[in-house]
Structure 1
């Protein structure tokens, strides 16, 4: 994670017209040796789950309202979330659809705007464990987006949901067009991820006792 933040500092120091545009996140999986055929992008998953596009104006207002009440995401610049809106895809997803599958490679994160999503993990010995049921404004899948690793858990819609999706490609666009804003977002995502992993780790440890 420190390596990512270091690269972000380098990127934000570049001039906006620097010819070395940011491709930090969209090329990260290839840099880790992951074959492109193994990668599940949002465009493919959207088709699989029957996603329907949600107007950006509607989804953006929901995202702004939810993150404005989050003690971490509210640290973004006053107009930051509004400026981010154009980098997100917004969609409605039916119930009982796998947005994220455990152990796959995926280069997008999901923010539930309405509805509930289950976060489940199959342990190495075969036990099925429910880690959480989301609330609107939570963030899912950011770990793989940030570190180019496999998905730790599966995320399944329990109800019809409205979601915001940020992919590696559009995060790189943000890095090029609004580098300070992108750096702030990634730093906050890393902080929230660290806190959540501590909670999940504690829960898994308690479950094994």
Structure 2
């Protein structure tokens, strides 16, 4: 995580005009550096087909994203103008109920924001028990850990209802990093804060179960 933030800061300090910024491959190549092969990596395009996702009009998706993040403790720090700039890097979709959008222990190169609906966040324990960690609410960000560090998924995320979602994949992050590095740096920093908070909650939950 420190390496990602350091690289982002160096791009911002360089003060490059956006048109002259070098293409970034930091996020799209992270999985190979972790030992994941192309056959192991699950991109959003493949998962979207598998779960029967339908495209959501960008105007509706963008409006929902702005409204939800404006009320979020961390993401609200971006401001409306920044979120509007960010929307072009997202894909918006609708997913039916009872679909595994994210699966535990797989390599996935995307994160998602729940815009409407509810998802179950479950983790299978080493002894086989399936533990319900949480149920997401609109505005919740899921899957960002794997997008940021190229590692395997910590848990599974399953739609309990029809869910409208906003998806940001590794290629989108790289495009943002190249064309708008200051915006990318702000997003990564805020994602890191949210992720740290959530992992503390999950760790406490797992500690209670194992007692």
TM-score if structure 2 supplies the norm length? 0.96
Q: For residue 36 of structure 1, give the secondary structure of its aligned residue in structure 2.
A: coil
Give CA deviations for 1:81-108 in whole Å, capped at 9, x if unaligned: 1111111000000000000000000000
Number of residue pairs matched by the alignment: 209
Partner of 2:76: 74
**Unaligned residue ranges in structure 2 (runs of 5+):** none
**Is the Cα–Cα contact under 8 Å of residues 8 and 182 in structure 2 kept in the other structure?**
no
C-alpha distance in 1, partners of 2:171/2:146?
A: 14
1:170 CA displacement: 0.6
- SS of corresponding position for 2:204: helix
Match 2:151 to one of 149, 155, 164: 149
Contact 2:55–2:92 (8 Å) recurs in 1: yes
1:167 is aligned to 2:157: no
C-alpha separation in 2, matches of 1:107 and 1:25: 8
Pairing 1:131–2:158 present: no
Query: 1: distance between equivalents of 2:26 and 2:13?
Result: 14
Give how far 1:12 is off.
2.2
- The ranges of structure 1 where at least 4 consecutive aligned residues each deviate by more than 6 angstroms after the TM superposition are none
Q: Which structure 2 residues correspond to residues 1-209 of structure 1 after superposition, within 5 A?
A: 1-14=1-14, 15=16, 16-18=18-20, 20-209=22-211
Contact 1:11 1:22 in 2 (8 A): no
Q: Aligned with 1:113: secondary structure?
A: strand
Cα distance, 1:127 vs structure 2? 1.1
Tell me if the contact between 2:21 and 2:179 (Cα under 8 Å) persists in the aligned partners.
Answer: no
Q: Compute the TM-score of the two structures, normalised by the length of structure 1.
A: 0.97
Listed as ranges, the gaps of 5+ residues in structure 1 are none
Secondary structure of 1:120 counterpart: strand
Looking at structure 2, the residues matched to 152 and 19 of structure 1 have their Cα atoms a distance apart, in angstroms, of 34
CA distance in 2, matches of 1:70, 1:20: 32
Contact 2:27 2:174 in 1 (8 A): yes
How far, CA to CA, are the matches of 1:78 and 1:116 in structure 2? 25
Distance in 1 of aligned mates of 2:116 and 2:126: 32
Structure 2 distance, partners of 1:6, 1:18, is 20
CA distance in 1, matches of 2:66, 2:180: 18
CA distance in 1 between counterparts of 2:103 and 2:51 reads 12
How far apart are 1:8 and its partner, in Å? 1.4
